[in-house]
Amino acid sequence: MRHTWPFVGLLLLVPVATAASSPTPVRVVKDNVVASDRDPAVRVTVPKTATYVGTERWVLFGIANCQLFAFIDADRQKHVRRLYWVQFEGYISSMPNLHHTYDSKEHAAIGGLDFFVDAWTESSKPSRPDTTDLAAIIKSKGYAVPAGINSGSDGQHIYDLIISKGYTLPPMLSSVRFVHTLDEARKELMIIYSEPFTSSRKPTSEETRALVRRAENALVIEPV
Protein backbone atom coordinates (compact mmCIF):
# COMPACT_ATOMS: atom_id res chain seq x y z
CA MET A 1 0.00 0.00 0.00
CA ARG A 2 1.01 3.53 -0.24
CA HIS A 3 2.77 4.41 2.97
CA THR A 4 4.13 7.56 4.38
CA TRP A 5 4.99 7.59 8.06
CA PRO A 6 1.56 8.34 9.55
CA PHE A 7 -0.53 7.14 6.63
CA VAL A 8 -0.14 7.26 2.92
CA GLY A 9 -3.23 7.39 0.74
CA LEU A 10 -4.05 4.04 -0.73
CA LEU A 11 -4.64 5.38 -4.23
CA LEU A 12 -1.01 4.81 -5.14
CA LEU A 13 -0.28 1.53 -3.41
CA VAL A 14 -2.71 -1.14 -2.57
CA PRO A 15 -1.77 -4.66 -1.28
CA VAL A 16 -1.96 -7.96 -3.10
CA ALA A 17 -4.01 -11.09 -3.55
CA THR A 18 -2.42 -14.41 -2.70
CA ALA A 19 -3.57 -17.76 -3.98
CA ALA A 20 -5.77 -19.57 -1.49
CA SER A 21 -3.57 -22.67 -1.70
CA SER A 22 -0.29 -20.81 -1.13
CA PRO A 23 1.45 -21.67 2.14
CA THR A 24 2.11 -18.89 4.61
CA PRO A 25 5.59 -17.44 4.05
CA VAL A 26 8.18 -18.22 6.70
CA ARG A 27 10.11 -15.16 7.86
CA VAL A 28 12.66 -15.13 10.63
CA VAL A 29 14.99 -12.63 12.25
CA LYS A 30 18.54 -13.44 13.25
CA ASP A 31 20.52 -10.56 14.72
CA ASN A 32 20.18 -7.75 12.15
CA VAL A 33 18.84 -9.85 9.28
CA VAL A 34 15.25 -10.56 8.14
CA ALA A 35 15.05 -13.70 6.00
CA SER A 36 11.94 -14.54 3.96
CA ASP A 37 11.48 -17.86 2.17
CA ARG A 38 9.04 -16.42 -0.40
CA ASP A 39 7.05 -13.39 -1.60
CA PRO A 40 9.86 -12.53 -2.19
CA ALA A 41 12.61 -14.94 -1.17
CA VAL A 42 15.08 -12.41 0.19
CA ARG A 43 17.43 -11.46 2.99
CA VAL A 44 17.32 -7.87 4.25
CA THR A 45 20.25 -6.80 6.41
CA VAL A 46 20.27 -3.59 8.44
CA PRO A 47 23.30 -2.14 10.28
CA LYS A 48 24.59 -4.02 13.31
CA THR A 49 24.01 -0.92 15.41
CA ALA A 50 20.24 -1.44 15.04
CA THR A 51 18.26 -3.31 17.70
CA TYR A 52 15.43 -5.62 16.69
CA VAL A 53 12.23 -4.29 18.27
CA GLY A 54 9.69 -6.85 17.12
CA THR A 55 7.30 -8.03 14.44
CA GLU A 56 3.57 -7.92 13.86
CA ARG A 57 1.34 -9.81 11.45
CA TRP A 58 -2.23 -8.73 10.68
CA VAL A 59 -4.68 -8.02 7.85
CA LEU A 60 -4.08 -4.40 6.89
CA PHE A 61 -7.35 -2.48 6.37
CA GLY A 62 -9.06 -5.86 6.06
CA ILE A 63 -7.64 -6.39 2.56
CA ALA A 64 -3.93 -7.25 2.76
CA ASN A 65 -1.94 -9.82 4.67
CA CYS A 66 0.85 -7.80 6.21
CA GLN A 67 3.92 -8.52 8.33
CA LEU A 68 6.29 -5.82 9.54
CA PHE A 69 9.67 -5.97 11.27
CA ALA A 70 11.09 -3.01 13.18
CA PHE A 71 14.72 -2.24 13.98
CA ILE A 72 15.80 0.82 15.96
CA ASP A 73 19.10 2.65 16.36
CA ALA A 74 18.70 4.64 19.60
CA ASP A 75 20.74 6.35 22.29
CA ARG A 76 20.98 5.15 25.90
CA GLN A 77 17.77 6.99 26.77
CA LYS A 78 16.02 5.08 23.96
CA HIS A 79 15.55 8.17 21.81
CA VAL A 80 15.24 6.96 18.23
CA ARG A 81 18.03 8.05 15.90
CA ARG A 82 17.20 5.74 12.99
CA LEU A 83 14.32 3.45 12.14
CA TYR A 84 14.55 0.49 9.76
CA TRP A 85 11.08 -0.79 8.83
CA VAL A 86 10.81 -3.95 6.72
CA GLN A 87 7.35 -4.99 5.55
CA PHE A 88 5.82 -7.71 3.37
CA GLU A 89 2.29 -7.41 1.97
CA GLY A 90 -0.09 -9.46 -0.11
CA TYR A 91 -3.73 -8.89 -0.97
CA ILE A 92 -6.12 -11.45 0.45
CA SER A 93 -7.20 -14.14 -2.00
CA SER A 94 -10.85 -13.07 -1.95
CA MET A 95 -9.92 -9.77 -3.62
CA PRO A 96 -7.96 -10.84 -6.72
CA ASN A 97 -8.61 -7.61 -8.62
CA LEU A 98 -6.57 -5.42 -6.29
CA HIS A 99 -3.06 -4.48 -7.40
CA HIS A 100 -0.33 -2.08 -6.29
CA THR A 101 0.00 1.04 -8.42
CA TYR A 102 3.00 3.28 -7.69
CA ASP A 103 3.62 6.56 -9.47
CA SER A 104 7.15 7.37 -8.30
CA LYS A 105 9.54 8.11 -11.17
CA GLU A 106 12.56 7.40 -8.98
CA HIS A 107 13.93 3.86 -8.97
CA ALA A 108 16.85 2.07 -7.36
CA ALA A 109 18.43 -1.29 -8.18
CA ILE A 110 19.41 -3.04 -4.95
CA GLY A 111 20.51 -6.65 -4.85
CA GLY A 112 19.34 -7.14 -8.42
CA LEU A 113 15.78 -6.04 -7.55
CA ASP A 114 14.04 -2.93 -8.85
CA PHE A 115 12.54 -0.61 -6.22
CA PHE A 116 10.28 2.40 -6.48
CA VAL A 117 11.77 5.18 -4.35
CA ASP A 118 10.14 8.16 -2.69
CA ALA A 119 10.85 10.35 0.33
CA TRP A 120 8.96 12.68 2.67
CA THR A 121 9.16 14.48 6.01
CA GLU A 122 6.23 14.29 8.43
CA SER A 123 5.22 14.07 12.06
CA SER A 124 6.34 10.83 13.66
CA LYS A 125 2.97 10.37 15.36
CA PRO A 126 0.45 8.88 12.94
CA SER A 127 -3.07 10.23 12.68
CA ARG A 128 -6.09 8.03 12.19
CA PRO A 129 -6.46 7.53 8.42
CA ASP A 130 -9.50 8.58 6.43
CA THR A 131 -10.43 5.40 4.57
CA THR A 132 -13.17 6.96 2.46
CA ASP A 133 -11.18 6.78 -0.78
CA LEU A 134 -10.03 3.24 -0.04
CA ALA A 135 -13.61 2.13 0.58
CA ALA A 136 -14.61 3.63 -2.78
CA ILE A 137 -11.79 1.74 -4.56
CA ILE A 138 -12.85 -1.53 -2.94
CA LYS A 139 -16.47 -0.99 -3.98
CA SER A 140 -15.42 -0.07 -7.52
CA LYS A 141 -13.75 -3.48 -7.80
CA GLY A 142 -17.03 -5.18 -6.87
CA TYR A 143 -16.14 -6.06 -3.27
CA ALA A 144 -17.89 -5.32 0.00
CA VAL A 145 -16.00 -2.99 2.32
CA PRO A 146 -14.36 -5.26 4.94
CA ALA A 147 -15.11 -4.90 8.63
CA GLY A 148 -11.41 -4.35 9.33
CA ILE A 149 -11.04 -1.28 7.14
CA ASN A 150 -10.80 0.99 10.20
CA SER A 151 -8.41 -1.21 12.17
CA GLY A 152 -5.54 1.27 11.71
CA SER A 153 -2.75 1.93 9.23
CA ASP A 154 0.61 0.21 9.17
CA GLY A 155 2.07 3.50 10.40
CA GLN A 156 -0.11 3.24 13.49
CA HIS A 157 0.91 -0.39 14.02
CA ILE A 158 4.64 0.28 13.90
CA TYR A 159 4.31 3.44 16.01
CA ASP A 160 2.45 1.51 18.72
CA LEU A 161 5.04 -1.28 18.59
CA ILE A 162 7.96 1.15 19.00
CA ILE A 163 6.30 3.07 21.84
CA SER A 164 5.34 -0.15 23.63
CA LYS A 165 9.03 -1.06 23.80
CA GLY A 166 9.85 2.15 25.64
CA TYR A 167 11.36 4.12 22.76
CA THR A 168 10.77 7.82 22.10
CA LEU A 169 10.38 9.04 18.55
CA PRO A 170 11.40 12.57 17.53
CA PRO A 171 8.61 15.01 16.63
CA MET A 172 9.49 14.90 12.92
CA LEU A 173 10.93 12.14 10.76
CA SER A 174 12.46 12.24 7.29
CA SER A 175 11.82 8.94 5.54
CA VAL A 176 12.78 7.06 2.40
CA ARG A 177 10.63 4.25 1.09
CA PHE A 178 11.79 1.45 -1.22
CA VAL A 179 9.09 -0.76 -2.75
CA HIS A 180 9.61 -3.88 -4.88
CA THR A 181 6.45 -5.38 -6.37
CA LEU A 182 5.98 -8.95 -7.61
CA ASP A 183 3.33 -11.35 -8.90
CA GLU A 184 1.85 -8.76 -11.26
CA ALA A 185 2.05 -6.13 -8.53
CA ARG A 186 -0.18 -8.14 -6.20
CA LYS A 187 2.56 -8.45 -3.59
CA GLU A 188 5.28 -6.17 -2.34
CA LEU A 189 8.36 -5.83 -0.22
CA MET A 190 8.56 -2.40 1.38
CA ILE A 191 11.51 -1.00 3.32
CA ILE A 192 11.41 2.39 5.02
CA TYR A 193 14.42 4.17 6.50
CA SER A 194 13.68 7.12 8.82
CA GLU A 195 15.74 9.57 10.84
CA PRO A 196 14.97 12.75 12.84
CA PHE A 197 14.48 16.05 11.04
CA THR A 198 15.06 18.91 13.47
CA SER A 199 14.36 21.97 11.35
CA SER A 200 10.96 23.65 11.05
CA ARG A 201 11.51 24.18 7.32
CA LYS A 202 11.11 21.66 4.53
CA PRO A 203 14.23 19.67 3.60
CA THR A 204 16.05 20.84 0.50
CA SER A 205 16.38 18.64 -2.57
CA GLU A 206 20.04 18.03 -1.73
CA GLU A 207 19.13 17.01 1.82
CA THR A 208 16.59 14.57 0.39
CA ARG A 209 19.12 13.12 -2.05
CA ALA A 210 21.60 12.71 0.82
CA LEU A 211 18.92 10.95 2.88
CA VAL A 212 18.27 8.50 0.03
CA ARG A 213 22.00 7.81 -0.27
CA ARG A 214 22.27 7.09 3.46
CA ALA A 215 19.32 4.74 3.24
CA GLU A 216 20.77 2.85 0.27
CA ASN A 217 24.16 2.56 1.98
CA ALA A 218 22.58 1.25 5.19
CA LEU A 219 20.69 -1.64 3.57
CA VAL A 220 21.83 -4.93 2.08
CA ILE A 221 19.15 -6.78 0.09
CA GLU A 222 19.95 -10.25 -1.28
CA PRO A 223 17.56 -12.51 -3.22
CA VAL A 224 17.81 -16.13 -2.04
44-82 per-position pLDDT tens digit: 999 999 999 999 999 999 999 999 999 999 999 999 999
Residue 21 lies in a domain: no
pLDDT(160) > 80: yes
Q: What percent of the chain has pLDDT over 90?
A: 86
Residue 17 lies in a domain: no
Decide: 37 and 49 in contact? Cβ < 8 Å.
no
- Tell me the average pLDDT across 25-41: 96
Cβ atoms within 10 Å, residue 12: 17
Q: Could you tell me the residue range of the domain that residue 57 belongs to?
A: 27-223
Helices (H), the chain: 132-140, 154-164, 205-218
Q: Is 152 exposed, middle or buried (0-12, 13-18, 19+ CB in 10 A)?
A: middle
Decide: 36 and 27 in contact? Cβ < 8 Å.
yes
The count of domains in the chain is 1
Residue 145 lies in a domain: yes
Residue 64 lies in a domain: yes
From CA 72, how far away is CA 46, in angstroms rounded? 10
195-211 per-position pLDDT tens digit: 999 988 899 999 999 99
Residue 6 lies in a domain: no
- Tell me the average pLDDT across 177-184: 97
| CB contact set of 170 (below 8 Å; sequence gap of 6+) | 79, 80, 124, 196, 197, 198
Amino acid letter, residue 149: I
- Tell me the average pLDDT across 105-111: 95
Residue 9 lies in a domain: no
Query: Residue 2 has what pLDDT?
Result: 41
Mean pLDDT of the chain: 90
